[in-house]
Structures are given as structure tokens and as C-alpha cells.
A = this chain, B = another copy of it.
Amino acid sequence: MYACCPSDVLKAREVIRGLAHVTPVMCCSSLSQISSEATDLPTTLALKCELFQRSGSFKFRGASNAVMSLSPEQALSGVCTHSSGNHAQALALAARSRGDCPAYIVMPSNSPSIKKVATEGYGATVIVCESTQAAREAAATEVAAKTGAVFIHPSEDPRVIAGQGTLTLELIEQIDQVLGPRSEKKSHPFDVLVVPVGGGGLISGCAMALQSLVPEGGAPPLLVGAEPSEAADASRSKISGVLQGHLDGKTPLTIADGLKTTLGPNTWPIVRDFVDEIVTVSEEEIKRALRLVYERAKLAIEPSAACGVAVTASPAFGKVLRARLPPDTLSSVLRGDRRLRIGVVLCGGNSDYKA
């Protein structure tokens, strides 16, 4: 059994309805063209804009699903977590939205200042710690013991995983309106979904959402993870078939600050069994994608979100598509009958402004 199953995502959608925004899906012909050139396949990207989600990232979905699932007594004791920033803000806002629910947030000292300021702005108590996984966990445990707050893990909590998956349910409903109707009615609304991978909560939830809606006689879309080469624990885990941590246990050096965490006991089995492939990108590729999205799509995304776009603009992604897509999909695309429909999750927009 997996920690989260498709019906959990469907339930989460009802729980967070009206609390979380239904975020827009946008297209950008320049980005689609760049992806088409890099992959040598005609592609159209549909950008799921979670940067416009409340608290500035998809994390609000999982956090609010978790907070709304608490009993009144639990809520009164509050919630706590450790987070590099986006889950921190999201949990703080989810707790405030519920009311009568204090939030205690452990944040590593190297979190972007915009994320710390926002977390406090949402009324949470912020505890700063060293930027190692061990220090974060120790500080959160201490806070939970002291306050009685319920610990909500940023990626392992099943309610969090289920909440994150709701964005894929929305995308499935939105994409035809944005990209136009499909030529093959029986097919899935899109062919590929690209999702950044840090702790794996997002991609696990998305995997379950895709499983919930496999068309009769069809296959789910290809699910591709996007990871910085500098923090490629999920990629190495997939290749070896065994859950891996970071190399030498060191905190990775990547500008994608949201993707420094590792898979865990709940996310790894889902990633292992339902994610088709993980593509890694260099820091230079992530920086280039940040610039492209800013200049061409006019969206202020954070580096973690750029990681997904960088994958779509990489020749490695083209190889994955050719190797993994169903033969009939690939042949109709190569014949020029239609373009590949690729969903890309722009997971967040919380980065410091540069004047």
C-alpha cells in the first residue's frame, strides 16, 4: 500500500475547495518553441501557474488539506514543521485561515528572506536553525514537545501529498480550454507532465492524481521529474532502485532552494513505481530557464520552478520522450498530425527581487 492513493487526492480537492486558488494555466509560444527545438519534437507547453497560489506556491494545497483535517482540539494546540520556506509560509497561512490554530515554523538560516518575512507576516512563530536536515528535525521535535503542536511534514505527510495532487486534477480539466480540443478523443488531455522533485510530495500527489483519471483503454501521461544535477538524490534512487540520500550526506549547492530535500519513506515508493523518469539539469540550465520565463512569459518564478522548464528545454528530455512515449503517440507527432501536449508545473514564485 502507498501512503496516498488516488481517492485521497479526490477527497483533498473537496476539503480545500474555496480555500486554495484554482490557478491559471498559461501558454507561451516562445517557451514551446525553445522546447520543440531542444527536443526536436513539436511540443506545446501548458504552464500550471502555482506561483499564483496562495502563499506563493503549491504548498498551500497540502498544508491546508492537512490543517483542515485536524480535530478542533488538535487545531487549538497548533501545528509545527520545518521548511526551507514555501511549506513554512503555506502552513502559516493555512493555520491562520483555519483560525484558532497557532503555527510554529522551524526555518534554516539560509532561507530566502522573502520567505521568512512572509511566514512571520502570516502570524507564525519562526524558529531559525542551522541549514542541515538533522538540525531542522531536532528543532521541530523540540518545538512539538514543548507546545503540543501537531507536526506536519513538508513532503511525507499523506494529507500533504494528497493536497499537492489537486493541482493535477485542475490541470486535467483546464488544459483543453487552453490548448484546444484533442484530435484523439480517447487520449489523456496531455501526453507528459513535468514536475520538480525535492522531497517528492508534489510529484507523489500528482502521480496519484494521474492514476485517478486514466481514460478507458488509455495510459496515464508520462510523468517526468525535474531535479537539479546538484541535488539528484531522486534520480540516483530511481536508477539504483534503492532510496538514496544526498552524496556524502552534504547539503547540495543549488539555487533551487526548494529542491534540496530528499525523498522519504512515503514518497519514495510512489516515485519508484509511478514516476517514469527523472531528468536532471545543471545550474546553468536552471538560470537560463529563469531568465527565459521572466523575459518571454513575464512570470516571476523561483529557481525550483525554473528547474521544470529547464528540463523541457533540454535535449535529454527529447531522448526520454522518444524512448518512453507510446509508439502511436510518437508516430502521430512525428508525422506532424499533432503536437505533444506537455504540462509543466511552475511550482512557486517566492524569490528575492533583484533591483
Contact surface of A with B, Cβ cutoff 8 Å: 24, 26, 51-52, 56, 114, 287, 290-291, 294-295, 298-301, 349, 352-355
Contact B56 A294 (CB under 8 A): no
In angstroms, Cα B296 to Cα A349, docked, is: 9
- Residues from chain B with Cβ under 8 Å of A298 in the complex: 51-52, 56, 299-301, 349
Q: Report the minimal beta-carbon distance from A53 to chain B, rounded to whole angstroms.
A: 10
In angstroms, Cα B291 to Cα A353, docked, is: 6
Q: Chain B: which residue is nearest A293 at the CB level? A: B300
Q: Report the minimal beta-carbon distance from A142 to chain B, rounded to whole angstroms.
A: 31
Copies in the complex: 2
- Residues from chain B with Cβ under 8 Å of A355 in the complex: 287, 290-291, 354
Per CB-CB distance, the 8 closest pairs between chain A and chain B, nearest first, are A298-B349, A354-B354, A51-B298, A298-B300, A291-B353, A294-B353, A294-B300, A300-B300
Extra A-B contacts (14), CB below 8 Å, given A290-B353, A291-B353, A295-B353: A26-B52, A51-B298, A52-B298, A114-B295, A290-B355, A294-B353, A295-B300, A295-B352, A298-B300, A298-B349, A299-B299, A299-B300, A300-B300, A354-B354
- Residues from chain B with Cβ under 8 Å of A299 in the complex: 298-300
- Residues from chain B with Cβ under 8 Å of A349 in the complex: 298
Q: Chain B: which residue is nearest A28 at the CB level? A: B52
In angstroms, Cα B253 to Cα A190, docked, is: 48
In angstroms, Cα B295 to Cα A26, docked, is: 19
Q: Report the minimal beta-carbon distance from A115 to chain B, rounded to whole angstroms.
A: 11
In angstroms, Cα B26 to Cα A114, docked, is: 22
- Residues from chain B with Cβ under 8 Å of A51 in the complex: 298
Q: Report the minimal beta-carbon distance from A139 to chain B, rounded to whole angstroms.
A: 27
In angstroms, Cα B354 to Cα A290, docked, is: 10
Residue among A24, A290, A349 with the highest chain B CB neighbour number at 10 A? A349
In angstroms, Cα B355 to Cα A298, docked, is: 15
15 A-B interface contacts by CB (under 8 A) = A24-B24, A52-B298, A56-B298, A114-B295, A287-B355, A290-B353, A290-B355, A294-B300, A295-B300, A295-B352, A298-B300, A299-B300, A300-B300, A354-B354, A354-B355
Residue among A298, A299, A352 with the highest chain B CB neighbour number at 10 A? A298
- Residues from chain B with Cβ under 8 Å of A290 in the complex: 353, 355
